[in-house]
Structure 1
Amino acid sequence: MYLDQRALTRAGIHDPLLRESYEYCRRLLVAIGDGKDIWRGSLFLPPERRPHMWAVYGFGRHVDEMSEVAIETGAGRTQFADWCTTAMADLESGYSCEPSVRALIHTLRTWDIGPEPARKYLDAYLMDQNVTEYSTFVDLLSHLRLLSVEPFHMVIAVMGPTSRPTGPEAEAAALALYLTNLIRDVAEDQQLGRTYLPLEDLDRFGVAREDLARGPMTPAVRELVKFEVDRAHALYERGAGLPDLLHPQCRSLVRASLMFYRSYLAEIERRDYDVLTAKPCIGRAHMARMALRLGIPLFMSRTHRSGTGAAPARHWEGAACS
């Protein structure tokens, strides 16, 4: 907790309400799903950048959780849509009484990011309430560009590109990460009535949508999953140069993140592409090996900070709700 409070101070965030908004985002990460890994990863960033990562990912977690509840219950869809409409208006006005939106607005202003990526992210989740399948990979890519690439631009802005624009590498990396999640969660999503793998791919391998629900693997499903895993590997290769385009203090963390998520693909391959009988996960032994491999670079990145380019462009603490 001390390090987190110190990070808020180092980031120039002094207003009590704004500090609580960032802390709210941090708590969302620690409490929900694999968000704790995101928070742990943020500890390897310079303190002045750390809270802004909480804001981007905390906002994303909040939206994702509300969307899941709305889809599962059905009754909350109107409420979720109303929340998104209000959040979009707040992003435009630069003022919000909702903690995760308030923190994100401050982060966007601090790093001179427009509200468009956050608006497109909300659009993608609103679309997700009604669209449950995608006919082609091109259709899926259009959705994923809103859902993963746009928010990833916010992350990259906080990471501080230092050489040339990161567009192609950032897009490929963002798509690779999200496609990995879709492959890993295919059975879980199918049980919720959503088929994210393109229907043209299912048809190519003779797979019916109900074949993707939790249950025994078939040769056709294995071939389908292998096809999608190979597609994700190709995206990781296209995005492999992204860390070198970021601020030196942030490169090791991004390399670690890409390696961690790509290891899910290796685990799926080890299981002979079985993603139905059990959800693929990364074992503790493998995580320990990755930590040993990346621990020294991460530690050096965290402790030997030059200070050049470390501070955000400017700070903004918006009005507090009364």
Structure 2
Amino acid sequence: MASSRDRPPGPSSPTGEEAFRIRENAENFPVALRFLPRRYRDHLHAIYGYARMVDEIGDAFTGDRTARLHELATDLGTIWTRGQPSNAVLRRLARTVHDRAMSAEPFERLIEANLQDQVVSRYETFEDLRRYCTLSADPVGRMVLEVFGQATPETVARSDQVCTALQLLEHWQDVGEDRRAGRVYLPQEELRRYGVGEHELDRGSASPQLRALMRFEIERAAGMLGEGMAIVRQLQGWGRISVAGFIAGGQATVSALRQTDGDVLGQSAQPSRVATAARILGLLAARRPVR
């Protein structure tokens, strides 16, 4: 349910639908489970395509990224004024928005997150980072709930916990990659508390101090994910199954990160599809409360 921030393909990489499938397959979680009804898969793919496009503009557009994001925001707004967006991805998204009567704010927040990325590359405190996640991650979960018609104050609150946790876990997978891109998501005050200099993030393996910090960060994100898991019992039908897929991907990512023992620079922490599938079944098998 989190907005992915993996790097887009380079100039020689596949483009169009093939590139889209490659990026989707690289996610920690299944974007749209294959056995969902086609209408739901199409809606989820439309949302994913929008989120990926916004992130790619914010991360890799070769011109003025801020100006391009503002242009996109204007084009996005035409969806709710019953206009015709000029962007093909937005035209596909418009069908989903109108069919599911979706609100504009979550889509606008993703653009706001990428505008923030253009001027902010460090976060002083964990609370600062969490506020960023309310723009970059939480909106996607809210979109998913609206697709399934199950957005209530209770499910939205749990969804936000899950999405923030998923975003944090992705950041902890990509500490070295983000550093090379000029961004450090580890809170500055926590780097100081653990005695970790930013230059240590450039190494091929983590120092003992960084490993200790990463173990702390991984467990904190795991705790947030665990708190949000109650959403599976709050949802029904296909929405429950789909959201279980996102949470299972997060659980499998936690397991993969724990196996690095904090050395996120020297070891890959990619969850396996089999591990994710097994966790989906476990989540769905859990008993729902009697109403």
If the TM-score is normalised by the length of the shorter chain, which range does it land in?
0.7 to 0.9
Q: C-alpha separation between the residues in 1 aligned to 2:34 and 2:16?
A: 15
CA gap of 1:297–1:116, structure 2 versus 1, over 3 A, is closer
Instruction: Say if 2:100 is the partner of 1:114.
Output: no
State which of 161, 165, 188 in structure 1 corresponds to 2:150: 161
CA gap of 1:33–1:193, structure 2 versus 1, over 3 A, is farther
Letter in structure 2 aligned against 1:42: L
Residue pair 1:26, 1:39 contacting (<8 A) in 2 also: no
Letter in structure 2 aligned against 1:52: H
Instruction: Say if 2:106 is the partner of 1:80.
Output: no
Find the counterpart in structure 1 of residue 33 from structure 2.
42
Q: C-alpha separation between the residues in 1 aligned to 2:71 and 2:203?
A: 33
Letter in structure 2 aligned against 1:120: R
CA gap of 1:66–1:254, structure 2 versus 1, over 3 A, is same
Find the counterpart in structure 2 of residue 231 from structure 1.
220
Q: C-alpha separation between the residues in 2 aligned to 1:77 and 1:237?
A: 36
Find the counterpart in structure 1 of residue 245 from structure 2.
256
Written as runs of structure 1 = structure 2, the 5 A alignment for 1:1-322 is 29-32=20-23, 34=25, 41-70=32-61, 73=62, 75-78=63-66, 80-95=68-83, 96-161=85-150, 165-283=154-272, 287-291=273-277, 294=280
Number of aligned residue pairs: give it: 270
CA gap of 1:199–1:100, structure 2 versus 1, over 3 A, is same
C-alpha offsets along residues 72-103 of structure 1, whole Å, 9 cap, x if unaligned?
Answer: x5x44255334434334434433302111112
CA gap of 1:134–1:289, structure 2 versus 1, over 3 A, is closer
Q: C-alpha separation between the residues in 1 aligned to 2:31 and 2:113?
A: 27
Letter in structure 2 aligned against 1:98: N
Q: C-alpha separation between the residues in 2 aligned to 1:90 and 1:35?
A: 31
Residue pair 2:106, 2:140 contacting (<8 A) in 1 also: yes
Q: C-alpha separation between the residues in 2 aligned to 1:249 and 1:25?
A: 28
Return 5+ residue gaps in structure 1 as ranges: 1-23, 301-322
Letter in structure 1 aligned against 2:247: L
| Identity value in percent | 28
Residue pair 1:159, 1:250 contacting (<8 A) in 2 also: yes
Return 5+ residue gaps in structure 2 as ranges: 1-14, 286-291
Aligned to 1:276, what secondary structure does the other structure show?
A: coil
CA gap of 1:91–1:278, structure 2 versus 1, over 3 A, is farther
Q: 1:30 Cα deviation (Å)? A: 0.9
Residue pair 2:54, 2:69 contacting (<8 A) in 1 also: no
CA gap of 1:47–1:25, structure 2 versus 1, over 3 A, is farther
Q: C-alpha separation between the residues in 1 aligned to 2:283 and 2:225?
A: 21
Letter in structure 1 aligned against 2:277: A
Residue pair 1:180, 1:262 contacting (<8 A) in 2 also: no
Q: 1:274 Cα deviation (Å)? A: 1.0
CA gap of 1:38–1:140, structure 2 versus 1, over 3 A, is closer
Q: C-alpha separation between the residues in 2 aligned to 1:258 and 1:197?
A: 23
C-alpha offsets along residues 135-157 of structure 1, whole Å, 9 cap, x if unaligned?
Answer: 11111111110111122201111
Find the counterpart in structure 1 of residue 3 from structure 2.
none
Letter in structure 2 aligned against 1:264: T
Residue pair 1:133, 1:199 contacting (<8 A) in 2 also: yes
